[in-house]
Amino acid sequence: MKLTKMAIGIGSAALVAAGLAGCGSSSPSQQASGTAAPLIIAGDFANPTMTENFNPLSINHLYGTNFIYEPLYVVNLMNGHQTPWLATSYKWANATTLQFTIRSGVKWNNGRPFSAKDVVYTFNLIRKYPALDTNGVWNSLASVTSSGNVVTFRFSHVNIPEWYYIATTPIVSEYQFSRVPNPVTFTDPHPVGTGPFMVSSFTGEQYDLKDNPYYWQKDKIKVPEMEFRGVTGNTSVDEWLVSDQVDWAQSFIPNMQKLFIDKNPATNHSFQPPSSPWTLFMNLTKWPFNQLDFRKALAYDINRKEIVSKAEYNMMTPDHQSLLPPTMNNWLNPQLFKRYDYHYDPAKAAKELAKMGLKRNSHGQLLAPNGQPITLTLEVPAGWTDIIQDGKIMVDSFKKLGITVDEITPSPTTVTDNVQTGSYEMALQAAIGVPEPYFVYYEELDGAQTAPIGHVAPSNYERWNNPTTNKLLSEFARTTNPQLQKKIMYQLQKIVLTQVPVIPYDYGVFWFQNTTTHYTGWPTAKNPYAPGQVYAYPDNLLVVTHLRPVK
CATH label of the domain that carries residue 476: 3.10.105.10
Closest CA to 291 of 280, 282, 300: 282
59-95 tens-digit pLDDT: 889 999 999 999 999 999 888 899 999 999 999 999 9
Q: Is residue 374 part of a domain?
A: yes
Other CB atoms within 10 A of residue 132 CB: 20
Residues 266 and 199 in one domain: yes
Q: Decide if 278 contacts 431 (C-beta within 8 A).
A: yes
Closest CA to 175 of 190, 154, 165: 190
With 70 as the cut, is the pLDDT of residue 4 above it? no
Residues 476 and 355 in one domain: yes
Residues 367 and 384 in one domain: yes
Residues 167 and 235 in one domain: no
Domain boundary among 142, 177, 212: 177
pLDDT at 303: 95
pLDDT at 20: 25
Cis upstream peptide for 373 (omega within 30°):
no
| pLDDT band with cut points at 50, 70 and 90 for residue 432 | low
Residues 202 and 316 in one domain: no
Q: Is residue 5 part of a domain?
A: no
Residues 542 and 420 in one domain: no
Candidate from 21-25, 31-35, 99-103, 406-410 with smallest mean pLDDT: 21-25
304-349 tens-digit pLDDT: 999 988 888 777 777 788 888 878 888 999 888 888 888 999 999 9
Residues 340 and 477 in one domain: yes
pLDDT at 28: 38
Residues 296 and 389 in one domain: yes
User: How many domains does one find in the chain?
Assistant: 3
CA 525, chain centre distance (Å): 21
Q: Is residue 189 part of a domain?
A: no
pLDDT at 15: 26
pLDDT at 337: 82
| Residue ranges making up the domain that contains 248 | 28-56+195-273+515-549
CATH label of the domain that carries residue 203: 3.40.190.10
270-309 tens-digit pLDDT: 988 878 788 999 999 999 999 999 999 999 999 999 998 8
Residues 403 and 265 in one domain: no
pLDDT, greater one: 499 or 250: 499
Mean pLDDT of the chain: 89
The DSSP output letter for 106 is -
Residues 116 and 258 in one domain: no
Give the torsion sign (CA, 63, 65, 68, 69).
negative
pLDDT at 315: 75
Q: Is residue 349 part of a domain?
A: yes
In whole angstroms, give the CA distance from residue 368 to residue 300.
20
| pLDDT band with cut points at 50, 70 and 90 for residue 3 | very low
| pLDDT band with cut points at 50, 70 and 90 for residue 426 | very high
CATH label of the domain that carries residue 104: 3.90.76.10
Helix (H) / strand (E) containing 270: strand 268-270
Q: Is residue 190 part of a domain?
A: no
Whole-number CA gyration radius for the chain:
23
Q: Decide if 98 contacts 153 (C-beta within 8 A).
A: yes
Residues 129 and 49 in one domain: no
Q: Is residue 402 part of a domain?
A: yes
Pairing of strands 225-231, 39-45: parallel
Residues 525 and 396 in one domain: no
Q: End-to-end CA distance of the chain, in Å?
A: 39
In whole angstroms, give the CA distance from residue 210 to residue 214.
12
Q: Is residue 21 part of a domain?
A: no
Percent of the chain with pLDDT over 90: 68
CA 174, chain centre distance (Å): 27
pLDDT at 23: 31
Q: Decide if 410 contacts 388 (C-beta within 8 A).
A: no
Q: Is residue 499 part of a domain?
A: yes
In whole angstroms, give the CA distance from residue 544 to residue 540.
7
